[in-house]
Structure 1
Amino acid sequence: MTNISDGFSELDYNSLEPLSNSELKPTLNVKATDEFGNIRDVNIAEERPITIILDNQEIATLMTLGLFPELLSLGYLRNQGLIDNAKNIVSVDVDWKQETVTVEKKHSDKDTTDLHHANTLSALPSHENIISRDTIYGLLKNISNLNNVYRSAGGVHGCAICSQTTVLFFAEDIGRHNAADIISGYMFLNNIVGINKYLYCTGRLTSEIVIKAARMQLPILISRSGITHLGLDIAKDLNITLIARAKGTHFLIYHGSEFVSFEGSDK
């Protein structure tokens, strides 16, 4: 199980020279006055801009904690449909002084990447990825121990890629979109197939999060928060199971109940 303190330990960067591995501390200690007038030392979340540059072209500027800049940039580019194969990435270099991350990739005559137009999405293929009620319970219990930045400072969201009750990788960042992109970057570099795994998010399941899950080929989305109407409509179109309001031993299935098994212990 991987948490944010050792999140890079399982990655294989042999194909990327160089990869800067430039994570920063995610919190800052400040003074605050409590309800009794006492001055206290407390942590708050850092918020740093970083501009993603792909082949000398500025793509986007994101606000981030700074924990996983390489994974964030690669995952963002992947989820935008701008890169699709880790073997084609030459280097990923983070420069915090310039607030940039520069990604270089190989080119060929067949390279038709359009920086202004993401690839068209299609529904996920048929799968047999059934998740049980007890698996959901176990997963929620395991994830509750991983949100280190949130417990310390609040103000962040988290996402995890999971296999049964095992959390393969967990990431926190300023927004749920960033956290999902970091998961995508982790999967991208490690060649992880998504169709037999799940994506957990602390934030609401909007259309953008559902689309990111589809990009990662993850057929089951779980959130402790709610969903939106457009998120539900897109999940139906893309064959993605939506499970939300998931806390403790409670959850609601908004789409794809045929992929949830209710057998097992009744907790």
Structure 2
Amino acid sequence: MEISAKEAILRYENGRLENQTALVAVEFPLTIYVNKEELVTIVCTPEYLEDLVIGFLTSEGVIRGVADIDEIEIIESTGHAYVSANFVNKFNAKYRSKRYITSCCGKSRENFYFQSDASLLESYNETETTLTIPAIFARMNEFEAASETFKRTGGVHNAGLCTADEVLLSRMDIGRHNALDKIYGYCLRNGIEVQDKAIIFSGRISSEILIKTAKTGCGIILSRSAPTELAIQMAQELGITAVGFIRGESMNIYTRSDRILMK
């Protein structure tokens, strides 16, 4: 399925109007059913959908992990994902039942999280991973250079998983949260440990992104943009290193600066 589409536009540039075509990001509604019951509809970019489903269900606490899933069937033509699970957290599944999640990250989605995340403070395991400042700049440059869909459309967010030496994995989506769920789902499916790595991100570090980062087990998040006040408070409580405004030769280290080394 295509992740971008051509649209006719009227472009103004250098004092002239011209008829042109532009690439725009595709929005795709995916309705997830768990054990034949409708759970949620997510508006997303239509790629790596199985990773998205696994990452979403695990990070939302509907299942405990990939071992709880017996089968996933994705029907792209109708926008449905059917999940057969041998274990379902009935409270979380009921609470989330038939919710519609847009590609934006507004207050309604943040409320969707907080009511079921009280146990997170007790379950988070801190990482001993450190990164040098030169490594952070290098990884951000590598990450942005590979963001081809953003360069073409300007309409998606990017998330990645990196070490000090390389960006291991990168995913994009119209929703910041979806991009991170795709990363998490891929790691769950392939048994990739994330505790000794860092999340690298293109957009704002909101409270929901901070929560999802904590749930993956990563203790470091790097972003080209800024965190919110609530995200900083959560990062302090959870022991997560939040680094933002990584641009050129500058960055802001908001929390747990002990993990960031000069060289």
Deviation at 1:168, TM superposition (A): 1.3
Residues 164-204 of structure 1: CA deviation (Å, up to 9, x unaligned): 13111101101111111111111110122221000011111
Counterpart for residue 132 of structure 1: 132
Is 1:121 aligned with 2:101? Answer: no
Q: Which runs of 5+ in 1 are unaligned?
A: 1-23
Distance in 2, matches of 1:102 and 1:247, equals: 41
Other structure's SS at 1:255 match:
coil
Residues 68-124 of structure 1: CA deviation (Å, up to 9, x unaligned): 2111111111110112232332111111232111111224xxx65532465621353
| Contact persistence 1:136–1:165 (CA under 8 A) | no
| Contact persistence 2:62–2:89 (CA under 8 A) | no
Is 1:64 aligned with 2:44? Answer: yes
* One-letter amino acid of the structure 2 residue matched with residue 58 of structure 1: E
Q: Residues 112, 38 of structure 1: CA spacing in aligned structure 2 closer, same or farther, 3 A cutoff?
A: closer
RMSD, aligned CA: 1.6
Other structure's SS at 1:129 match:
coil
* One-letter amino acid of the structure 1 residue matched with residue 156 of structure 2: V
Other structure's SS at 2:187 match:
helix
| Contact persistence 2:126–2:219 (CA under 8 A) | no
* One-letter amino acid of the structure 1 residue matched with residue 168 of structure 2: L
Distance in 2, matches of 1:86 and 1:175, equals: 22
* TM-score scaled by length of structure 2: 0.85
Provide runs of 4+ in structure 1 moved above 6 Å: none
Counterpart for residue 147 of structure 2: 147
Distance in 2, matches of 1:129 and 1:185, equals: 22
* TM-score scaled by length of structure 1: 0.84
Structure with the largest fraction of helix:
2
Q: How does 1:55-134 map to 2 (within 5 A)?
A: 55-107=35-87, 113-114=90-91, 115-116=93-94, 118=116, 120-122=119-121, 124-134=124-134
Is 1:46 aligned with 2:23? Answer: no
Q: Give the length in aligned residue pairs.
A: 237
Residues 52-73 of structure 1: CA deviation (Å, up to 9, x unaligned): 1111222211111201211111
